[in-house]
Amino acid sequence: MGGAVSAGEDNDDLIDNLKEAQYIRTESVEQAFRAIDRGDYYLEGYRDNAYQDMAWKHGNIHLSAPCIYSEVMEALKLQPGLSFLNLGSGTGYLSTMVGLILGPFGINHGIELHSDVVEYAKEKLESFIKYSDSFD
C-alpha cells in the first residue's frame, strides 16, 4: 500500500486525495488527519515528500504511508472513551490522531523500542499541544 494516492502540495491536499480514494470514510478520521499536519512529524530538511502517500524513514524515525494510517483508524471504529495501544509507536503521529478521537476519557498508550524516537515523539506531541488549534 502507499503511493496509490497522488501527491499533494500540503496536508489538506493529502487528505482530500485520501478521501477521494476512499481511504478516509468517516468525519472523525478526516478531522483527526486535518488537525495534525504530517509535515510536522518529518525532520527539518526532509519535508519535500511529506504529503505523498508514501512511507518515510530516516535512521530510527519512521512514518508509514498515510493510507495505512487511515485504513487502521477506519477499521478500528474509534470512538471517544475507548482504549488504544500502539506497538512501535514511532513518531507519535498515529497515536496523536487517535488521541483526538478518543478524547480526554480514552486511554492511549504507545510502546516504542528506540529511546531516541521516544524523545522525538515527545517533542512532536509537545509542539502539537503548544501550537494546535485543537486545544483551547
- pLDDT per residue as tens digits for the range 33-67: 999 999 999 999 999 899 999 999 999 999 999 99
* Domain total in the chain: 1
In this predicted structure, the answer to whether residue 4 has a pLDDT above a threshold of 80 is no
- Residue tagged active-site, from 28, 64, 83, 95: 64
pLDDT of the residue at 99: 97
- 50 within a domain of the structure (yes/no): yes
- 99 belongs to a structural domain: yes
In a domain, residue 86? The reply is: yes
Catalytic residue status for 64:
yes
Report pLDDT for 7: 73
- pLDDT over threshold 90, residue 83: yes
Q: Indicate the helix (H) or strand (E) that contains 85.
A: strand 83-87
Q: How many CA atoms lie within 13 A of 68 on its CB side?
A: 13
Residue 30 CA neighbour count, 13 Å, CB half: 15
Q: Is residue 1 part of a domain?
A: no
What CATH number did the domain enclosing 86 receive? 3.40.50.150
Question: Which residue segment(s) compose the domain that 105 sits in?
Answer: 11-131
Buried b (16+ CB within 10 A) or exposed e, 61-73: bebbbbbbbbbbb
pLDDT on residue 2: 53
Q: What is the per-residue pLDDT across 91-126, written as a single tens digit (0 to 9) for each?
A: 999 999 999 999 999 999 999 999 999 999 999 999
